[in-house]
Amino acid sequence: MDSSLSTAEALAVHDSRIISVGKNDEIKPLMGKKTTVLDAKGKTVLPGFIDAHHHFQIASRTLNLMAQCHTPPHESIDDVIQVLREWAGQIPEDEWIIGQGCLLQDRKLKERRFPTKHDLDKVSKNRPVVLRFGMHVTLLNSKALDMLNVSKDSPTPKGATIEKDSATNEPTGVTRDFWNFIPIPEATDEQLSQAMEKYILQYCAANGVTSIQDLPESRAAVDIYQKLLENNEGKLNLRMRFYYEVPNMIQMDQLLATGFRKGFGNDYVRLGGVKIFVDGGMTSANALFHDPYTFSKDHYGKLAIEPDTLSLYVRQAYQADLQVLMHAAGDKANDIALDAVETAFEKYGARDHRFRIEHMGNVYPQMHRFERAKKIGVLPVPNMGFINSWADQLVELVGNQRGSNGFWCRKLIDNGFPIPGNSDATGTHPENSNPFFCMGRAVNRKTFSGKLFSPEEKISVTEAVKMYTNHAAFAGFEEHEKGSLEVGKFGDLIVVSENPWETPENQIESIKTLCTVVGGRIIYNIADF
């Protein structure tokens, strides 16, 4: 499949790149003694998928080094406590007990609430217990709160929320956008590197993902990517383009002092640029809106950075040729992000920059804002898997006007935005790591409860495939080497169980990856497909 989606019978890969595409009898003479032949047996071959927004480090850690507390399958707080107790018994006594749940689990558990510190104290009173519900909501037991000196009088760090009991003013244990302030001892390099290797195989290769645009949580990740590369003779089974989160992962000045610009690295590990949080998350009700949330007329969400500081970072990154990804989930945060881009252009002039606004289009999308984005070449990056994860709860969070339509895709593509496919994988919803799952939601628009959410935003199968190939490549400045199977590009391809164009729309999600090839090497193969 090339970038205009035309197809061919065979292709040849040499030194990890495609050297020829054509008919079987044109390709055969290129075979040497050591050539590996992959016969797709008439099955559909697609370019390897690119996931344009992925938290590889935390997802690897979450799905391998934490207790799995998701609903489903765990339906009550007691079930979750039980899972955490069992996990506590399996890990060394001096380690933090950490569990992973899913987004908005308070609405999915039978009790219809988050557990509290009192619930977690039943797991342990003298060991710190932390339960995560995505990147944004984190629950701590009494021991963990003590260790962090969180009390009824303690100050709340900027951008975070610490929930307090309305009667006693004591912290309940529920925190929002507080994860970065919890000094959980890092997993050892060895634990993390094993978790990453497992994750590549189980969640990337097995789902046909050969490249990701990665948002790590700490610099340890970058170090381990390099170690994995060294241990594997310069090859990884996944190509990462990573973005430093400024300022929590690294200060802007420190990054600028390195002199790196986008594209620095090799075929497997490359620097993409920076990621900056403008506001909090939608599922923690901290996405920043012009109008308040339904549950309080004083709550508009939270800024994660002062607009002036954002603007400065954006200008600095732009000048240093680092691509900028801004997390901006609410309408007001979108506006602040767009303002920052405009100031950069005023100062340094416009060029091909591909500034991205992550999550723009999910909630309360408005055409005038996209028109502004289009004028300055900003790329919105909505997340189609979230139609399943939390579209059902949107009206409850932000009311009918803002919550009843969203996750735009059709209108954005029609307006010329190359929307990139992505999972925003953090381990909360492992199903989203499968591009066919998210493509399915973009095509069928189904929520977790089976409702159709903004069905007029439905896209075609071709458009869905393009999201995870051409468009995602473009979103990371990688269209010259990824996203289609053409001479000169990487030999990254997958064989899939069904032809997506001949599969009924409601079954796109069940298409399986049978074989995954990275740089001409078969890294995942279901025998006898």
At its nearest, how many Å lie between Zn ion and the CB of residue 135? 6
Q: What gap in Å lies between CA 414 and CA 371, rounded to an integer?
A: 12
At its nearest, how many Å lie between Zn ion and the CB of residue 317? 18
Is 214 a residue that touches Zn ion (CB under 5 A)?
no
Residue placing its CB nearer to Zn ion in the complex, 353 or 429: 429
Of the candidate spans 17-25, 363-371, 423-431, 502-510, the one that interacts with Zn ion by CB under 5 A turns out to be 423-431
Alpha helices in 6-116 (DSSP H): 24-27, 56-65, 77-90
Of the candidate spans 297-305, 387-395, 420-428, 513-521, the one that interacts with Zn ion by CB under 5 A turns out to be 420-428
Q: What are the phi and psi torsion angles at 235 (to 5°)?
A: -120, 140
Is 478 a residue that touches Zn ion (CB under 5 A)?
no
> Containing H/E element for 219?
helix 219-231
At its nearest, how many Å lie between Zn ion and the CB of residue 389? 12
Q: What gap in Å lies between CA 59 and CA 67, rounded to an integer?
A: 13
Is 217 a residue that touches Zn ion (CB under 5 A)?
no
At its nearest, how many Å lie between Zn ion and the CB of residue 25? 47
Residue placing its CB nearer to Zn ion in the complex, 87 or 203: 203
Is 479 a residue that touches Zn ion (CB under 5 A)?
no
Pairing mode, if any, of strands 269-277 and 209-214? Answer: unpaired
Is 119 a residue that touches Zn ion (CB under 5 A)?
no
Q: What gap in Å lies between CA 477 and CA 417, rounded to an integer?
A: 15
**Is 442 within 8 Å of 384 (Cβ atoms)?**
yes
For the chain, the residue count is: 529
Is 177 a residue that touches Zn ion (CB under 5 A)?
no
Of the candidate spans 61-69, 143-151, 424-432, 447-455, the one that interacts with Zn ion by CB under 5 A turns out to be 424-432
At its nearest, how many Å lie between Zn ion and the CB of residue 129? 25
In the chain, the amino acid numbered 141 is N
Of the candidate spans 62-70, 205-213, 272-280, 416-424, the one that interacts with Zn ion by CB under 5 A turns out to be 416-424
Of the candidate spans 22-30, 303-311, 421-429, 521-529, the one that interacts with Zn ion by CB under 5 A turns out to be 421-429
Q: What gap in Å lies between CA 416 and CA 422, rounded to an integer?
A: 18
Q: What gap in Å lies between CA 149 and CA 143, rounded to an integer?
A: 10
Radius of gyration of the chain (CA): 23
At its nearest, how many Å lie between Zn ion and the CB of residue 483? 21
Residue placing its CB nearer to Zn ion in the complex, 102 or 496: 102
> Containing H/E element for 272?
strand 269-277
Size of site (CB under 5 A) for Zn ion: 1
- Options 119, 217, 279, 424; binder of Zn ion; rule CB under 5 A: 424
Q: What gap in Å lies between CA 236 and CA 225, rounded to an integer?
A: 8
At its nearest, how many Å lie between Zn ion and the CB of residue 216? 11
> Containing H/E element for 80?
helix 77-90
Contact positions vs Zn ion (CB under 5 A)? 424
